[in-house]
Structure 1
Amino acid sequence: TQRISAFSENHRAGRWSGDEFLVALPYSDSTTALAIAQAITHSISQPIYVHGNEIHLTASIGIAMTPTDSLSATDLIQLADLTMCEQKQSSTNKPQLFSHDVKDRILASQHILEGLQHAIENKQLYLCYQPIQNAKDYNCWANEALLRWDFDSELIGPDVFIPLAEKSGLIKEIGAWVLNRACMDAVHWHDTPKIAVSVNVSVIQLMDKGFIRLLDKCLQSSGLPPERLHLEVTESTFVENQAFILQQLEQIRARNIAVSIDDFGTGYSSLSQLQALPVNFVKIDKTFVDNIEGKGEAIIRATLFIARELGCKTIAEGVETKEQAMALSAMGVDYLQGYYFAKPMKSNALAEWQKATIKTLNVK
């Protein structure tokens, strides 16, 4: 509070709520307000020493101007708060002025979030499946479930709505729907009864104490054998709450459900963390496959070595060319996934694709 107050006149700065503070800057234009905000950010970032420990803080700052943006104090606070939230999501740490572009993005985000709250009941969510092939014979080994959202005839990408679902808490309800739907679909893959279904699970779902009960319920209601269910978790999942995550994973493995580490090599977990985790598969990220003719090859070979040391099989995603598939197979990657083999498909199209693939393999 003292660091913030140093840049304002008496009684013009104070706590608003929690970790949020307000500063009033009379007679300041936008250039001055930005300069003061930048100075506040710099001051807050200076280390604080508490009992011999060095603490570093950061600040996100949103600015609203009067009379340009509003004449109402309440509105100005709300607009500054919205701008601060927008700034917090950006890659830069620079204070941000409210603008109509910011307002439009915020309103669009709110519109999507409101629609997402009713997406299940309005039957707008559906799953597509992308095959994962055995690298040796190109037989289909598993299908990854990928969530899609048709919002009033507009397809909203998962890169947009999944983060919103996680921030709002809707990910638990949506994740439960995905898990149940994927299990139900997999049971009806009669032509390929041994193929597994792979489902992405967020750290928020894993941290839910009721997640194991949900797993049991989905398997019981669908009748899917647990060994045909694979769960994919991102590497960043293991950075925090390691003890509880480890307990959850051990319970999952005890049910013969396989676990994959997704986007391996892009997170921040250490090898000491990974070697203690009960996982079955390591997924090589698409960024490394794209750069397989450059530095990506070295990273892939290092990942293969690590996976073998961990006792894990490997899956390369984002395989788009025959050359990539052949190179990855020659390196010793166990499974391949990508557009070279098949794009994500709805259940009915997947069934036709599987029939055609089996027929082709039989002819060979």
Structure 2
Amino acid sequence: MGKIQSKLNKIPLIGKIIMLLLFIVTIILIYSESLSTTLKQNYLNQLTETANYNNSIIHGELKDKQTTLQQIASFIEDSPNMVSRENMQKLSEISKQINLKRIGIIYPDKRVFVTDNLGQQSIYLDDIGIFFEKSLKDKESITRIEKDKIDDSGAIIVMSIPLKNNNGELKGILFATYDVNTLRNFMTLDIFNGKGYSIIMNSKGEKLITSLTALKLDSESNNIFYNLERINSSNKDIIERMKADVEANKSGIIQFNLYEKMYMSYQPLGIDDLYILTVIPKNIIENQYNILMKSTYFLCIGLSVALFIIMMNIIFNEKRKKRLLENITYVDKVTGGYSYEKFLLEYKKKQKNNNRKKAFIILDIDNFKLINDIFGYNIGNMVLKDVWKIIYDNLKQNGIFARKYADKYSIMIFFDKEEEIIEFVDKVIKDIEQVNIIKREKFRIVPSIGIYILENNDEKIDQIENYAIMASRTIKNRYDVYYSFYYNKLESIIIEKKNMTDSIYQALENKSFIPYFQPKFDAKTKKIVGAEALIRWQKEDGSFVSPAKFIPIAEEVGIIAEIDKYMFEAVCKQQYIWKTKGLKILPISVNLSRNKLYNANFIDEYMSILSKYKLEPKDIQFEITEGTLYTEEKIGEKIIMTLKNLGFDILIDDFGVGYSSISMIRDINATEMKIDKSFIDDTSERGKALTNYVIKIAEVIGMKTVAEGVETKEQYEFLLKHNCDIIQGYYFAKPMPAKEYEKFL
């Protein structure tokens, strides 16, 4: 040791400095080489992560369209006339809702019916077999067509599904066209500062679509494999490897020669045989490496200080890029909280590492689309942020959550006692109601919440989320219950509801719904003054399905609006028949459900039906429940005013069982108030006093009163004594078919 120290002392200072410099330069060069390799790998990792992100976006977009097409196929196959105007109208509406160019049906004889003209005209395509080869072989497919032959426009993506009859034989093809530019918008991301681009191809290498920044190749061929081999023969072995991976449905990264050296990540899209390619020039990585080497020489001159500065700069840039990538992938752009992808990552960690009991909660907002339609997307996004903040403030450290999409939030809460879940949910509901009171005028923000308590830590996220969704669906669009727990029999109940929903649609198509008419009588003169139309569902065997069984489900799934329209036209048609017979036309009231108040466009449709049957607004009355007015007061006022200005009478149904205020009833300015049967049945002194009070309220604000469910002479005499205007009930007449009601005219 002493000898070594002695030798070092003999070395001049300049020698020591040179040795130190050589040592530093060597360390820096070794480190730089190692760093360049790491940097290259990081870029390749980022390429893979970006490809994954692109994949998830494009997969989600195409999968949503494919799933919708499958759902459409399920009901189109059962339709006697697949291209009926009603079917094509539905398909046209769906096409607009999900941003498709068109939806169409192809028959085996190559006739094509499309939503462009609602199936009124067929189009003949002689090369159907080329573009729908898989569907003709009983498979779903996604194909690119360079020219839309239906309207002679540009390139389109065609998604097709075979349609079969009950014997499993091909009866046609359901297809949807998706504008290439629309899908391209999802692919046009800022990949590696705009230098990278994406391509979607099939397993044969045929290009379907490219992002806007993709290089244009001087080739008439649309095949990726062929073009890469043609441009540079050195790509042949690489392309063969890529073909093998594609055939085996594998992912990979290759380096190939185009006009310059490039890196390409290829991944199966998970739909049909499609692959997504993400491409970046190799010089992006090389340029970074060259900059690093120049910095290395500078560091050699500047020694350790310059080295420290450069290294800190590199570390900072890496962290910034990582944060940027995490922001893209893991931050929800609307709320600023976790994205759903980040939620899933955190969920996996917490599922194993947290020993407390766990519950999965799904929360969404009823009729959220209505908020966007009325108040605009800015207000809609404010509501989403408010709800996110409410969940955040109440959940604190007791769980994780994220907005999944639209107005749907996924929440995992940790608890020791189930009361903690109820306390959390009740507080969230209460706070959401405050959002309504403070900022949203008279519009109520109503959540639907489904809760599933995990039985163990090994349950799959898809399954527990499905359980929570099932629970939330049981109380969707109800205004007296805001949350529900999953229980074992719930799945069978959901299936039963689905079967009933299908039966309702079938009943509408088969015209199995018929109106019954319950007459209304002037309380003093006992003369008939009109009737209420009540829906009856008569099955083929002559039996009836109780409205109590199907009306709540129709309201829950949104079919009630179609039933309303069906009944309106049925009543108008019957009024017209009586009118042509020379019978007296008395006003008949029909229900106007909550769904109709979402869109005033129904008024034009109803007026057209009224004109079709040569009737006037005075011949039809609309009944709106008190509960509907309470939940949708702002919209209700506008639509009711429009209907009254057109000449329709408005009746407030079920008065006394809802939540409305007297001032609201006054502002609605309805024509008649229908006293609910529960008041009429209460013959106690207190009950009679309340009924009398309701009649007097109507008198004060200038409305007539209609007593529903009057069944006894005592009830009738009491109502007559207290100046009730109109009587409806079994005491005078029960609901009856049109032929029996006709005798009263």
Describe how 1:89-168 pairs up with structure 2 within 5 A. Answer: 96-100=485-489, 102-150=490-538, 155-168=544-557
Verify: 1:41 aligned to 2:425, yes or no: yes
The aligned residue for residue 262 of structure 1 is 653
* Cα pair 1:231 1:258 within 8 Å, conserved: yes
Select the residue among 695, 703, 719 that pairs with 1:312: 703
Would you say the 8 A contact 1:316–1:336 is kept in 2? Answer: yes
Paired position in structure 1 for 2:674: 283
Structure 1 residue 335: deviation in Å?
0.7
Q: Which amino acid letter does the alignment assign opposite residue 572 of structure 2?
A: C
The C-alpha deviation readout for 1:79-135, integer Å capped at 9, x for no partner, is 2321233366696677624212x2222111111112222321122211111111111
- In the other structure, the counterpart of 1:80 is 468
Question: Match of 1:228, as an amino acid?
Answer: D
For 2:483 and 2:616, locate their aligned partners in 1 and report how far apart those are by CA, in whole Å.
52
For 1:303, what is the secondary structure of its paired residue? helix
Q: With CA pairs under 8 Å and 6+ residues apart, which has the higher RCO, 1 or 2?
A: 1
- Match in the other structure for 1:359: none
Q: Evaluate the alpha carbon distance shift between residue 20 and residue 144 of structure 1 in structure 2; reply closer, same or farther with a 3 A threshold.
A: same
Query: Which whole-Å deviations, capped at 9, do the CAs of 1:288-307 have from their partners, x for residues lacking one?
Result: 10013432211221122111
Question: Contact 1:227–1:256 at 8 Å: present in 2 too?
Answer: yes
- Matches of 1:116 and 1:47, distance apart in 2: 37
Q: Distance in 1 between matches of 2:658 and 2:484?
A: 28
AA in 1 matched with 2:648: I
3-state SS of 1:180 partner? helix
Among 690, 693, 713, which residue is 1:302 paired with?
693
1:20 counterpart (409, 416, 419): 409
Using the alignment, how far apart are the partners of 1:171 and 1:258 within structure 2?
21
Count residues in correspondence. Answer: 342
Distance 1:289 1:123, change over 3 A: same
Secondary structure, counterpart of 2:521 in structure 1: strand
Candidates 331, 338, 349, aligned match of 2:722: 331
The 8 Å contact of residues 575 and 585 in structure 2, kept in 1 or not, is answered as: no
Q: Which moved further from structure 2: 232-241 or 320-329?
A: 232-241
Q: In the aligned structure 2, how far is the partner of 1:4 from the partner of 1:242?
A: 32
Match of 1:307, SS state, is helix
- Structure 1 SS opposite 2:503: helix
* Inter-CA distance 35–316: structure 2 relative to 1 (3 Å threshold): closer
Uncovered stretches (5+) of structure 1, i.e. residues with no partner: 356-364
Distance in 2 between residues matched to 1:61 and 1:33, nearest whole Å: 18
What does residue 31 of structure 2 align with? Answer: none
Q: Distance in 2 between matches of 1:42 and 1:198?
A: 39
User: Larger C-alpha radius of gyration, 1 or 2?
Assistant: 2
Given the alignment, which residue of 561, 564, 574 partners 1:185?
Answer: 574
CA distance in 2, matches of 1:35, 1:247: 43
* CA 7–95 in structure 1, closer or farther in 2 if over 3 Å, else same: farther
Cα separation, 2, equivalents of 1:286 and 1:196: 21
TM-score, scaled relative to structure 1: 0.80
Matched residue, 1:235: 626
Deviates further, 165-174 or 215-224: 165-174
SS of aligned partner of 1:121 = helix
| Distance (Å, rounded) in 1 between the aligned partners of 2:487 and 2:635 | 41
Whose helix proportion is higher, 1 or 2?
2
Q: C-alpha displacement at 1:247, in angstroms?
A: 3.2
For the residue of structure 2 that corresponds to 1:21, the secondary structure is strand
Q: Contact between 1:83 and 1:97, CA under 8 Å: does it hold in 2?
A: yes
Contact 2:467 2:486 in 1 (8 A): no
Give the TM-score normalised by structure 2.
0.42
Contact 1:87 1:96 in 2 (8 A): no
Amino acid at match of 2:504: L
- Tell me, what secondary structure is at the counterpart of 1:345? coil
Distance 2:586 2:482 in 1: 47
- Is the 1:187–1:193 contact (alpha carbons within 8 Å) kept by the matching residues of 2? no
Identity across aligned pairs (percent)? 26
Question: Please, which runs of 5 or more residues in structure 2 have no aligned partner?
Answer: 1-390, 440-444
Partners in 1 of 2:551 and 2:637 — Cα distance?
24
Query: Are residues 327 and 46 of structure 1, via their aligned partners in 2, closer, same or farther at CA, if it must alter by over 3 Å?
Result: closer
Per-residue deviation, 1:192:
4.6
Report the residue type matching 2:527 in the other structure: N
How far apart, in 1, do the equivalents of 2:539 and 2:397 lie? 48
Residue 496 of structure 2 aligns to which amino acid in structure 1? A
